[in-house]
Structure 1
Amino acid sequence: MIEDWRQRRAAKRITSGDGRPLKRFRWWQLPFRALFYLPLPQRDGRQMVYAIDIPRRTDPEGGRARAHLYLDGRHHAESKLPAAFPVEGGTIEVANSAFGLKRCHYVTIAGRVHPLVPDPKSAEGRRARLERSHPALSRAFGFLSVLLLLIGVGLNLLQLAEPISQIPPIANSVGSFRSPIHLPIWLNFALAVGAILASTERALRLRFSMLDHIGK
């Protein structure tokens, strides 16, 4: 029931496209644009190619980022995020986070989930190429990202617990807590930057969890 409600809401956000051609990805758009493809073979042997173009900016009218759906190189539809575009055989679901995309997947009618293919020139495409060509280095980056998030979130929670526990109703019921760790401002700032970089790296791989949500 909840999923049906979400689908109905997403459908209301979709507007028709204007037929403009899809522009090629340029290197200087790395920080400002994400581009993904979904080729779908047809029964007659043809192949339709869907593309999802996400400018990394907010909509000036609604204040939310938009996803643009292209079909065979032409603008087919657009929607504010999160978006769910009905396509041949299923739905393309797109959602973002504070650090980038957390979802850009094709969900079939049968419920199978397939990630879309990033443009090789995009930041997501370059990260995927690193994973293919240097898997060991890619795993090391992934491990470091999780480690930075765990350290940053864990230390911040310890430091936040102390002032929260001193609120009179909480202190009277469970007692106050004194954090064993008090970090200097510069180190807290460095940990915050590390957590942001870690979540950004994970967003390039469309990885998102509660850990990323807490760390933002």
Structure 2
Amino acid sequence: MQTTLTKKTLSEVIKERHSVRKYDSTYTISQEEIKDMLKEATQAPSSSNLQPWRFIVIQDEETKKELRAVANNQEQVETASAVIAVLGDKEMYKSVEKVYRSAYEAGFMDEANMNRLIEGTNKTYPFASEDILKNIAAFDAGLVSMQLMLIAKDRGYDTVPMGGFDKEKFAKMFNIEDRLFPIVLISVGKAAAPAFNSTRLPLEDILIEYK
């Protein structure tokens, strides 16, 4: 007897996604599938489409064990199939020509528009403060991270985002260049125990005004 798999709606995926901290340490996700999920996640929007996110994927068992010590001894760092570190690029504007020339060559804009956007970016971003650039990159990293977690859930995996880790030690551990900074770690794998249920504040507590 054949069973028909029903594709879940986006609403169902959103409601079923919870932060999982107990993983099946024997389960492996292929590098190919992780790359596929990352590629899909990068369809997320970003400021001026400069895509200031970078990723480090950690699957090596020994490296995960070392990372656990840097990440406040959080068990899921070591037991999940992979940990994906999301980094921000403070010099995202240096990719501007590649970004807009790619759009031009794909037929998404004409040459005049490409040149206008490149010129506008080069007149603003390089002169912004480091704090502003980091804020832009961190905001955009949040968008791609949430998209990645929903994609993983849609494929039958669970995740948990972790901001609680020593970012300075992480940067040294992976020899990260100065223009990049770590933002969040995301464990991905098969749950070994259900997540704790949680509630949300009622809408009337968070909707300030509706006109």
Q: Which has the higher strand share?
A: 1
Fold-level similarity (TM above 0.5): no
* Category of TM-score, reference length = shorter chain: under 0.3
* Higher helix content, 1 or 2: 2
The structure with the larger Rg is 1
